[in-house]
Structure 1
Amino acid sequence: MTTNYLFVWLGITNILLFYFMYSDKQKARKRKYRIPEKYLLILGILGGSLGGILGMHLFRHKTKHTYFYLVYILGMSLWVWIMTRVIR
């Protein structure tokens, strides 16, 4: 039962971060108010790292910031570790 909730959580956070990457890129092009980087990074740690990495590459957004890659890879590693503990 707990595993189902975690998969739903991961799905929601990945979709949300993917959308935020798209939205922030559009706002950057229009020179409008942007989504703060700390929100993008925190959402990556909370489970949306795969959506963040996909958004970075598909929208060519934040690709020059290596700390985004580091945080997203760290977040993905953390969630793989958590899921391996829960699924047992």
Structure 2
Amino acid sequence: MKINEGITVTLVIWNVMIFIIYGIDKSKARRGSWRIPEKILLTIALVCGGFGAWLAGITFHHKTRKWYFKTVWFLGMVTTLVALYFIWR
């Protein structure tokens, strides 16, 4: 496997993990138990995790009313696309 393929697979796995983390947080919200802090959710989405966070937001109806989450999800998608551009060019 080439390095660019490995990094791409890593980004996919990272976004799947973020999707799962957002799902766990939504589950905890429904049960009223301890939650994952918003700072953590925002940070992991911003660091090349926008696609996983955005998809989780839509799937679980989680954090979709907060404008700053939508903004960070978009920025996270942009950072992912920029990273992929430089990896594959």
TM-score > 0.5 by shorter chain: yes
RMSD after superposition: 1.1
1:28 is matched by which residue type in structure 2? A
User: What is aligned with 1:32?
Assistant: 33
CA distance in 2, matches of 1:75, 1:48: 5
Residue 7 of structure 1 is matched in structure 2 by 8
Instruction: Give the corresponding residue for 1:60.
Output: 61
Separation in 1, partners of 2:61, 2:43: 20
Residue 51 of structure 1 is matched in structure 2 by 52
Give, as a single letter, the amino acid of the residue that structure 2 aligns with 1:35: I
Mark the runs of 5 or more structure 2 residues left unpaired by the alignment. none
Cα deviations across residues 62-81 of structure 1 (Å, max 9, x unaligned)?
01111111111111112211
Structure 1: give runs of 5+ residues left out of the alignment.
none
Residue correspondences, number: 88
Structure 1 runs (4+) greater than 6 angstroms displaced: none
Counterpart position of 1:77:
78
